[in-house]
Structure 1
Amino acid sequence: MKYPSISNKLPILNRQNYIKQLKNNSLSVFNANDEFPRSGDQTFSFKQNADLFYLSGIDQEQTILLLYPDCPNPLYREVLFLRQTNDFIKVWEGYKYTKEQAQLASGINNIFWLEDFENILHSIVHYADYIYLNTNENNKYTDSIPYRDIRFIEQMRSKYPLHHYERAAPIMRNLRAIKSEIEISLTQKACSITRDAFLRVLKFVKPSVKEYEIEAEIIHEFIRQGATGHAYPPIIASGHNANILHYGDNNQQCKKGDVILFDFGAEYANYNADMSRAIPVNGKFTKRQKEVYNAVLHVMKEASKLLVDGITGKIYHEQVGELMTEQLINLKLLTLDDVKNQKSSYPAYKKYFMHGTSHHLGLDLHDFGGRYTPFANGNILTVEPGIYIPEEGLGIRLENNILITASGNIDLMADIPIETEEIEEIMNQ
Structure 2
Amino acid sequence: MKYIPLPKSLYIRNREKLKEKFPPKSIAVFNSNDIMPTNADGTMRFRQNNDLFYLSGIDQEESILVICPDFPDPNLREVLFLRETNEHIAIWEGHKYTKEEAFAVSGIENIQWVANFDNVLNSLMALSEHVFLNANEHLRAAVVVETRDARFIKSCKERYPLHQFNRIAPLMHQLRAVKEKEEIDQMQIACDITEKGFRRILSFVKPGVTEYEIEAEFIHEFIRNRSKGFAYEPIIAAGGNACVLHYIENKEVCKDGDLILLDVGAEYGNYNADMTRTIPVSGRFTKRQREVYDAVIRVKKGASDILRPGISIQEYHKEVGLMMQSELLGLGLIDQTDIKNQDPKWPAFKKYFMHGTSHHLGMDVHDVGTMHEPISAGMVFTVEPGIYIPEEGLGIRLENNIVILEEGYFDLMRNIPIDPEEIEGLMN
TM range (shorter): over 0.9
Q: For 2:381 and 2:202, locate their aligned partners in 1 and report how far apart those are by CA, in whole Å.
A: 25
Q: For 1:269 and 1:228, locate their aligned partners in 2 and report how far apart those are by CA, in whole Å.
A: 8
Query: 1:396 offset after TM fit, Å?
Result: 0.3
Q: For 1:407 and 1:356, locate their aligned partners in 2 and report how far apart those are by CA, in whole Å.
A: 23
Q: How does 1:173-212 map to 2 (within 5 A)?
A: 173-212=173-212
Instruction: Indicate the residue corresponding to 1:3 in structure 2.
Output: 3
Q: For 2:191 and 2:311, locate their aligned partners in 1 and report how far apart those are by CA, in whole Å.
A: 25
Q: For 1:398 and 1:85, locate their aligned partners in 2 and report how far apart those are by CA, in whole Å.
A: 47
Q: CA RMSD in A?
A: 0.7
Q: For 1:96 and 1:6, locate their aligned partners in 2 and report how far apart those are by CA, in whole Å.
A: 18
2:140 is the alignment partner of 1:146: no
| Contact kept in structure 1, 2:308 and 2:407, CA below 8 Å | no
Instruction: Indicate the residue corresponding to 1:44 in structure 2.
Output: 44
Secondary structure of the corresponding residue to residue 11 of structure 2: helix
Instruction: Indicate the residue corresponding to 1:407 in structure 2.
Output: 407
User: Structure 2 counterpart of 1:110, which letter?
Assistant: N
Q: For 1:18 and 1:294, locate their aligned partners in 2 and report how far apart those are by CA, in whole Å.
A: 44
Query: 1:314 offset after TM fit, Å?
Result: 1.1
Q: How does 1:122-133 map to 2 (within 5 A)?
A: 122-133=122-133
Instruction: Indicate the residue corresponding to 2:20 in structure 1.
Output: 20
Q: How does 1:256-335 map to 2 (within 5 A)?
A: 256-335=256-335
Query: 1:292 offset after TM fit, Å?
Result: 0.5
Q: For 1:374 and 1:200, locate their aligned partners in 2 and report how far apart those are by CA, in whole Å.
A: 39
Q: What is the percentage of aligned positions where both structures have the same residue?
A: 55
TM-score by length of 2: 0.99
| Structure 1: stretches of 5+ with no match in the other structure | none
Q: For 1:142 and 1:375, locate their aligned partners in 2 and report how far apart those are by CA, in whole Å.
A: 25
Secondary structure of the corresponding residue to residue 166 of structure 1: strand
Q: For 2:95 and 2:330, locate their aligned partners in 1 and report how far apart those are by CA, in whole Å.
A: 58
User: Structure 2 counterpart of 1:133, which letter?
Assistant: L
Cα deviation, 1:130-174, whole Å, max 9, x if unaligned, reads 110011111010221111111110000000000001111111111
Cα deviation, 1:247-293, whole Å, max 9, x if unaligned, reads 00001100010000000100000000000000000100000001111
Cα deviation, 1:166-220, whole Å, max 9, x if unaligned, reads 1111111110010110001001110000011000010110110011000000000
Q: For 1:105 and 1:171, locate their aligned partners in 2 and report how far apart those are by CA, in whole Å.
A: 23
Q: For 1:142 and 1:277, locate their aligned partners in 2 and report how far apart those are by CA, in whole Å.
A: 28
Instruction: Indicate the residue corresponding to 2:60 in structure 1.
Output: 60
Instruction: Indicate the residue corresponding to 1:93 in structure 2.
Output: 93
Q: For 1:314 and 1:342, locate their aligned partners in 2 and report how far apart those are by CA, in whole Å.
A: 19
Q: For 1:30 and 1:199, locate their aligned partners in 2 and report how far apart those are by CA, in whole Å.
A: 40
Q: How does 1:96-115 map to 2 (within 5 A)?
A: 96-115=96-115
| Structure 2: stretches of 5+ with no match in the other structure | none
User: Structure 2 counterpart of 1:11, which letter?
Assistant: Y
Query: 1:371 offset after TM fit, Å?
Result: 1.1
Secondary structure of the corresponding residue to residue 204 of structure 1: coil
Q: For 2:130 and 2:315, locate their aligned partners in 1 and report how far apart those are by CA, in whole Å.
A: 38
Secondary structure of the corresponding residue to residue 267 of structure 2: strand
User: Structure 2 counterpart of 1:298, which letter?
Assistant: R
Secondary structure of the corresponding residue to residue 70 of structure 2: coil
Secondary structure of the corresponding residue to residue 401 of structure 1: strand
Instruction: Indicate the residue corresponding to 1:35 in structure 2.
Output: 35
Q: For 2:340 and 2:61, locate their aligned partners in 1 and report how far apart those are by CA, in whole Å.
A: 55
Q: For 1:4 and 1:174, locate their aligned partners in 2 and report how far apart those are by CA, in whole Å.
A: 26
Instruction: Indicate the residue corresponding to 1:134 in structure 2.
Output: 134
Q: How does 1:333-348 map to 2 (within 5 A)?
A: 333-348=333-348
Secondary structure of the corresponding residue to residue 215 of structure 1: helix
Q: For 1:182 and 1:5, locate their aligned partners in 2 and report how far apart those are by CA, in whole Å.
A: 10
- Across the two proteins, how many residue pairs are aligned to each other? 428
| Contact kept in structure 1, 2:211 and 2:252, CA below 8 Å | yes
Instruction: Indicate the residue corresponding to 1:158 in structure 2.
Output: 158
User: Structure 2 counterpart of 1:224, which letter?
Assistant: R
- Range with bigger deviation, 407-416 or 382-391: 407-416
2:410 is the alignment partner of 1:418: no
Q: For 1:226 and 1:298, locate their aligned partners in 2 and report how far apart those are by CA, in whole Å.
A: 34
Cα deviation, 1:372-417, whole Å, max 9, x if unaligned, reads 1111100100000000000000100000001111132111101100
